[in-house]
Amino acid sequence: MASFKLSAIFTLFLTISLLHLISAARKFTESDQQLKFQYHKGPLLTGKISINLIWYGKFKPSQRAIITDFITSLSSPKQGTTTSQPSVATWWKSTEKYYQLANNKKSVNLALSLGSQILNENYSLGKSLTTNQILKLASKGQQQNAINVVLTAADVLVDGFCSSRCGTHGSSYGALVNGKRNKFAYIWVGNSETQCAGQCAWPFHQPIYGPQSAPLVAPNNDVGLDGMVINVASLLAGTVTNPFGNGYFQGPKEAPLEAASACTGVYAKGAYPGYAGDLLVDKTSGASYNANGDNGRKYLLPAIVDPKTSVCSTLV
C-alpha cells in the first residue's frame, strides 16, 4: 500500500513538472517567433493597384459576386455611403502599420481597386494544372500596377492543392515594355468545397484533422466561396507586405509566415486550436462572421499580425 502511494505521488510530481516544462517551452517558442517576425528591407506594393480576377473553370455569377464584393469592400466607402462596423475596410487598414514602420511615415500610398475580370470557362489548359500553368494564367492579366488573382473552380486539380496549400502568392517578370520587364504580383486560390473543405474552408466544414468541432454556417451560404475569401484575404495581406520575398515575414524565405498566414485559425478573440474565436452571428441566417462588406455582405477574415507587437490582431 505504501509503495502504491509513493508511486502515485511520484507520478503526480512528474506530471506537474512536465506541465511546467511544456508551459515554459511554449512561452519561449512564442517569444522566439515574435522576434523573428521582421522587415527584410524589400519594397512593399505602393500606388494605385488594380486587382484583376482570372476565373478558371465554371463559377456561377452569384459566386463571382461574393469575391468581387469583397475586393470592392477593401476600400473605404465612398462619400455618402456607410458600411456597418466592423468592416472589411477596417480590417484592411491594419496593413497600414507595415508601411508606417517601413517608411517611418504616417501616410500610406496604397489604393486597391477591382480591375478587369477574365473568364476561362472552357478549361483551356485542362482540369489539372501545374504551378507554371497557374503563372501562365496569371500573366493574362494586366502586368503593371496590378495583382492578378487566379481562382480555380471546384473540379480543377492544382499541384500541391490540399496536400500542402490552399493557395499561394508570388511574383514574376511580365512582358517586355519599352525595353524593360517589370515584376508583377499574382495570387492563386482554389475552390476546396469538393476536394478538401475541411482543410481550406474551415471553420465552415468539419476539420480534416485536429480538434473536432461542429462547422459554422457560412456567411454567404457557400462553403467553397466563403473559404476562398478567407484565403484570398490572407494572401492579399501577404502580397502587399511581402510582394517579392524580401518584405515582412518570419521563418525561412522559402516557406514564410506572413501578415495573415502567421495567424492561421485565429478569427476572433478567444480563438484556440479547433475554435475560431468569439465571432459575430447573424440573427437571421445563423451565419458566423467578423466583417461587413459592400452590398450587405458579411465575411469571415483572418487575424493580421500587428507588426509593432507581433501579436495576432482581430476585428472582434
Task: Find the range with the poorest average confidence among 7-16, 121-130, 240-249, 302-311.
Answer: 7-16
Residue 100 corresponds to which amino acid? Q
Q: What pLDDT score does 144 carry?
A: 87
Residue-wise pLDDT for 121-157, tens only, equals: 999 999 999 999 999 999 998 888 999 999 999 999 9
| Eight-class DSSP state of 255 | S
C-alpha to C-alpha distances, 23 to 19, 36, 183, 247, 265, nearest whole angstrom: 6, 20, 45, 32, 21
Question: How far is the C-alpha of 93 from the C-alpha of 81, rounded, in Å?
Answer: 18
8 A C-beta contact, residue 43 and residue 103: no
Beta strands in 78-232 (DSSP E): 110-120, 128-129, 146-152, 157-158, 167-177, 180-190
Q: Are strands 157-158 and 110-120 parallel, antiparallel or unpaired?
A: unpaired
Question: How far is the C-alpha of 68 from the C-alpha of 235, rounded, in Å?
Answer: 16
| Eight-class DSSP state of 315 | -
Residue-wise pLDDT for 254-300, tens only, equals: 889 999 999 999 999 999 989 999 999 999 999 999 999 999 999 99
Indicate the pLDDT class of residue 105, thresholds 50, 70 and 90.
Answer: low
Which domains, and CATH codes, for the chain?
Answer: 38-194+224-264 (3.40.390)
Residue 277 backbone zone (phi > 0: left; psi -120 to 50: alpha; other: beta) = left
Task: Find the range with the poorest average confidence among 63-72, 103-112, 215-224.
Answer: 103-112
Dihedral sign computed on CA atoms, order 238, 62, 111, 145: positive
Q: What pLDDT score does 21 carry?
A: 32
Question: How far is the C-alpha of 204 from the C-alpha of 73, rounded, in Å?
Answer: 22
Indicate the pLDDT class of residue 37, thresholds 50, 70 and 90.
Answer: confident
8 A C-beta contact, residue 293 and residue 70: yes
Residue 109 corresponds to which amino acid? N
